[in-house]
Structures are given as C-alpha cells and as structure tokens.
Amino acid sequence: MVDFEHEEAATELIQEDSHPMVNIAIQVKRPEAVLPQQKVEETTWQTIIINLISGAVAGAVAKTVIAPLDRTKILFQTSDMRFGVRQVAGVLNNVYRNEGVFALWRGNSATMVRIIPYAALQYSAHEQYKKLLRPSNSQNLAPFPRFCAGSMAGVTASALTYPLDVLRARMAVTERTRYSGMLSMCLHTLKHQGPRAFYQGFLPTMLGAIPYGGTSFFTYETFKKRHRELTNNREPLPVERLCYGAVAGLCGQSSSYPLDVIRRRMQTAGITKYSYKTIWKTAMEIYREGGIKGGLYKGLSMNWIKGPIAVGISFTVFDLSKNALSNTEVFSSGVK
C-alpha cells in the first residue's frame, strides 16, 4: 500500500514487477506540505467601510495630538524666521500669550475637515492597491509593489482633498481675528484670488506624496512582515506598532521634506509676503534665504519629533480600529 500521508515530498518510482520482460513503473505524486500563510482578506462593502472609518479615526487622533507643533512648523516654513529650539519655544509662548492656549490648535478644525477624508481615503486606497498589486498566487507584496501601493494611496488621497489642505495651511499662518472661520477664509480666497488659489502648490504636493506615502507605508508594512516571520505569525503589540510607525514616519518625512516646504510657501502665497508661481522659482527663493539646511530643510528637526509621533499613532490606531471593527457583529459577517 502506498502511504500518501507522508510529508516528504515529491515524486518517486515504485517498481511493481521485477520480471525481465516487464518493468512497470508507477509515478506517485505526493502532496506538498502547506506552510501557514497570512489570511487574505476579500473585498466586501464591510471591509471598505471598516478601512474608511479606521483611517478617519487614525488621522483625526494623530493630527489632534501634534496640532500645536504642526502649526508652529507651518509658521516657520512660511516665513524667513530663523529656526531653532529657542525660536520654537518663543513662537509657542507668543501664540499662547497673545492668542490663548486654544490658538495653539488654530487651524485644527480645518485640519480635521481635511484629514478625516484624507486619511480615510489614503488607508482605504492603500488596502485596495495592495490587493490589486499582489500576485494571485502570493500572500505578500514584493518590495517594489509595496512601495507603489503606498505612493499611489498618498497621491490619490492628496489629489482628492487638496483644496482642504490649502485652507488648512492658510488658517495656520493667519491670526484668529483676520477670519471668523474656515468658511470665511474660503469665501475671501475665492473672491480675491479665484478658484485657482485652492490649487496653488498642487504639483509639489503630488511629487512629495510619491516618496512620502511610498516610504512610510513600505517601511511600516516591511516591519510588520518581518515581525511575523520572526515571531511565528504573532501580530505586533500596540507599542511595537507605535515604534514601527515612528520609524516609518521618520523615513517618510525625511524623503520628501523640501517639497513640503515648497508647497507650503506656494499654498500661502497671497496672504504672506511671498508670491510664487512655479516650483523652481519657489525653491530658488527659499535657497537664497537660507540655503539647503536653513531653507529647504528648515524645520526638519521639528518634523523628526512630530512626524514619528503622528505617523506612529496613525498606523497603530488604524490597525487597532480595523481589528476592533472587524470583530463586531455588524461587520464580522462580511470580513472573510
């Protein structure tokens, strides 16, 4: 009798008759051992809604935590102020003394209006792009498709929510008394600068989204993949996700920072003393002001603080929210 349950593999020849006139060989194909693989999630309306909700929550929580640092960074990026730790403390203190503690979160309402749809679209798009780029016979993405999935998700979300990003930047660099709110600023911009003002800095934003989204998602997904390989498919703990996300944020911010400075200058042209029309002219003006370190990379050290915090929180909250929602009675039946 042939034992088909043996896990060794392959193909062997069994001699059924040794008669010199008859030599019959039977080829037996034994089943290959199946290694445990990560479960593939099918796309259903439940998974799409879960990704959208989880992304929205992740973006809102992360941006609210680092809002004071975000506003301070934009104030430096859109001015010729010298950047340093003492100067950062001075700006925070001046805003607090002159406008009150809640002024540190000025522009955060505009940030929420923008970040909730942005993060929802980015995370949901990333999950879909991963499925589209994953080979049918594989459970994991190769490195380059993994980078592409993050880049395409960043570009998709940035393009669809860009006018809101412009309003957020403009809110951050204006005093509270100048506009009553986001709607007031929107109407004023539309009246005095026209619809094109809402797309100032669009190109550098799209160019920056490619390395930023690609690098951050690639780094985080790679850390999680490596973690599972080293721990027999154990999911990372929240603190481990925070650390992986922090490194991903650090890498992503560093890879695209000069384009971030350029886009902020272009977005706020018309309400600051600057007026820029092209990426090249903007970059040259910034370079003349402060060179590479004090101009194109101005405020990067602050981003090395707030970026890892924000991205670490965002990735962690997304994963935890997604897992929690997937286990609820409402959604669990549609997640396979």
Q: Which of 31-35, 195-199, 222-226, 268-272 has the highest mean pLDDT?
A: 222-226
Model confidence over 289-316: pLDDT tens digits?
Answer: 889 988 899 878 878 888 899 999 999 9
Domains of the chain: 47-328 (1.50.40.10)
**Distance, CA of 253 to CA of 65 (rounded, Å):** 17
Contact 183, 148 (CB under 8 A): no
Distances (CA, A) of 216 to 189, 213, 221, 268, 277: 33, 5, 9, 26, 29
Residue 40 scores a pLDDT above 60: no
User: Six-digit token pair at 238?
Assistant: 């929240």
Is 147 in contact with 222 (CB distance < 8 Å)? no
Closest CA to 322 of 176, 224, 191: 224
Give the residue with greater pLDDT, 178 vs 162: 162
pTM of the predicted model, to two decimals?
A: 0.77
Residue 129 has pLDDT above 50, yes or no: yes
| Cβ-based neighbour number of residue 121 at 10 Å | 22
pLDDT at 333 over 70: no
Cβ atoms within 10 Å of 41's Cβ, excluding its own: 16
Is beta strand 11-15 parallel, antiparallel or unpaired with respect to 25-29? antiparallel
Q: pLDDT tens digits for 53-94?
A: 999 999 999 999 988 888 887 777 777 777 777 788 888 888
Cα–Cα dist 252/40, whole Å: 27
For residue 144, which of 251, 218, 229 has the smallest C-alpha distance?
218
Supply the pLDDT for residue 251.
Answer: 95
How sure is the predictor about 241, in pLDDT bands with cuts at 50, 70 and 90? Answer: very high
Candidates 127, 166, 181; CA nearest to 150 is: 127
- Top-confidence residue, 26 or 134: 134
Token reading at 175 = 């005093």
134-153 pLDDT, tens digit each:
887 777 889 999 999 999 99
Tokens of 320: 């935890």
Closest by Cα among 280, 272, 286 to 75: 272
